[in-house]
Amino acid sequence: MTDLPEPDILAEATRLRHDLHSQPELSGQEHETASRIAARMRALGAEVITGLGGTGVAAVFGDGPRGLLLRCELDALPIEETGRPAYRSQRAGVAHLCGHDGHMAILCAVAVQLARRPPPVRVILLFQPAEETGAGARAVLDDSRFAALGADMALSLHNLPGLPLGAVALEEGPVNCASRGVRIRLTGRTAHASEPENGASPGLALAALIAALSGLARALPVTDPDFRLVTVTHARLGVPAFGVAPGEAELYVTLRTRLDDTMAELEDAARAQVHALAGEFAPDITVHEAFGHCVNAPEAVAVLRAACAGLTPAEGALPMRASEDFGLFGAHMPAAMLFLGAGTNRPALHNPDYDFPDTLIGAGAGIFLRAIAQFARSNAAAQAGPNPVS
């Protein structure tokens, strides 16, 4: 099996990326995208499972007692695209601004190569839904059909602007932070704006909460185990009217820590502040988009390191503040994610004008194909056992 996709494969994968880019779908709504991917995998002769964890697709190539899972994401973002590629999003307010269209194209290039040259091990290509909300990986893992796939190791990659094009960031240990969104609703009582004393405005409580919750952050580098970041992302008080004193308020806050254990402590501290400062307004606290930390296992990193031999390493990029639900796979098997440089002069991920660089399709597919070969060699060596002593 060659370690680089053939030129016609890359050309097809590039066209696919452009098509996917023009027709993005939000988390949990990736029906057309999933249907297209599943049809292509079936045409290549793969064993295909659809509806995995909602809209996920798994395609299995090769055979053998052990399986290597390669994962990409199906979903786009609820952001209006301002970039103007010929294949720009045709759906208002939705766009592939995180590069998931490129990740899918990479796995599709791998799939064609595997169909032409069957792998010596079982390879499971997972097109996962709902990564952006943190719900997709958990839904896939909770699907009873996932265990039957028999994955023994999981690998993934993510493009990363800010790193030189094609450079690779790969480390053992923590690579993505834990995060969760906390929504706080305060309930008071409206009044005429000329008689605010006849109501109960949560305005001062909202202001106090913004300051107090922001103060839970610790100005530490993300490499510090006690790193904590608290970001107020939305605040609303009352209704937009001059004659009504507000009777309710809403606050969105994102908590971020390096590891899950610290996240539990930070969430407890945030809840305590809410109850201390806004108790009279019957605060309703709900948690959304909860991401666990992502920790790379040594044995999975070893496979990826072998696959990245000769590529330019990027130092100091990890761990990232951003979160990734791929970390959940690490609770079930050795797992690792690498980060592939998208260029130093590109817009950042989630910027409205971001566009995945097509040149990374071949680079990413080559890494995965070499990882498959390395996984196969490692399994063969393990099955052979130690050399007999003469």
Q: Which residue has the higher pLDDT, 384 or 331?
A: 331
Question: Residue 380's pLDDT band (boundaries 50, 70, 90)?
Answer: confident
* Residue-wise pLDDT tens digits, 64-117: 999 999 999 999 999 999 999 999 999 999 999 999 999 999 999 999 999 999
User: Considering 256, 291, 326, which residue would you say is the last residue of a domain?
Assistant: 291
Question: Residue 390's pLDDT band (boundaries 50, 70, 90)?
Answer: very low
Please tell me whether residues 263 and 363 are part of one structural domain.
no
Check pLDDT > 90 for residue 199: yes
Put simply, whether the predicted model's pTM sits higher than 0.85 gets the answer yes
Number of domain units in the chain: 2
Residue 54, domain CATH = 3.40.630.10
Residue with tokens 């798994």: 58
Please tell me whether residues 223 and 265 are part of one structural domain.
yes
Backbone dihedral angles phi then psi of residue 93, each to the nearest 5 degrees = 75, 10
In a domain, 24, yes or no: yes
Average pLDDT over residues 375-389: 75
Please tell me whether residues 220 and 344 are part of one structural domain.
no
Contact yes or no for 297/335 (Cβ under 8 A): yes
* Residue-wise pLDDT tens digits, 263-278: 999 999 999 999 999 9
In a domain, 334, yes or no: yes
Please tell me whether residues 310 and 286 are part of one structural domain.
no
Residue 232 burial (10 A CB sphere; 0-12, 13-18, 19+): middle
Check pLDDT > 90 for residue 360: yes
**Mean pLDDT score of the chain:** 96
343 backbone φψ class: left, alpha, beta (φ>0; ψ -120 to 50):
left
β-bridge mates for residue 320, sequence order: 176
174 CB neighbour count, 10 Å cutoff? 21
Check pLDDT > 50 for residue 389: no
* 57-to-54, 104, 125, 146, 199 alpha-carbon distances in Å: 9, 11, 8, 11, 53
Check pLDDT > 60 for residue 388: no
SS3 58: strand
Residue 261 burial (10 A CB sphere; 0-12, 13-18, 19+): exposed
The total number of residues shown for the chain amounts to 390
In a domain, 390, yes or no: no
Closest by alpha carbon to 138, among 60, 39, 59, 28? 28
Please tell me whether residues 26 and 140 are part of one structural domain.
yes
User: Considering 291, 322, 346, which residue would you say is the last residue of a domain?
Assistant: 291
Looking at the chain, the whole-number percentage of residues with pLDDT higher than 90 is 94
Residue with tokens 């305005």: 203
In a domain, 2, yes or no: no
Measured at the alpha carbon of residue 317, what is the angle toward residues 168 and 163, in degrees to the nearest 5? 55
* Distance (Å, whole) CA 377 – CA 380: 5
* Residue-wise pLDDT tens digits, 143-168: 999 999 999 999 999 999 999 999 99
Cα-based torsion angle of the residue sequence 44, 50, 55, 60 in order, rounded to the nearest 10 degrees: -50
In a domain, 389, yes or no: no
Please tell me whether residues 264 and 319 are part of one structural domain.
no
In a domain, 272, yes or no: yes
Measured at the alpha carbon of residue 388, what is the angle toward residues 386 and 390, in degrees to the nearest 5? 150
In a domain, 297, yes or no: yes
Please tell me whether residues 247 and 318 are part of one structural domain.
no
User: In which domain, by residue range, is 256 found?
Assistant: 178-291
User: Considering 291, 310, 332, which residue would you say is the last residue of a domain?
Assistant: 291
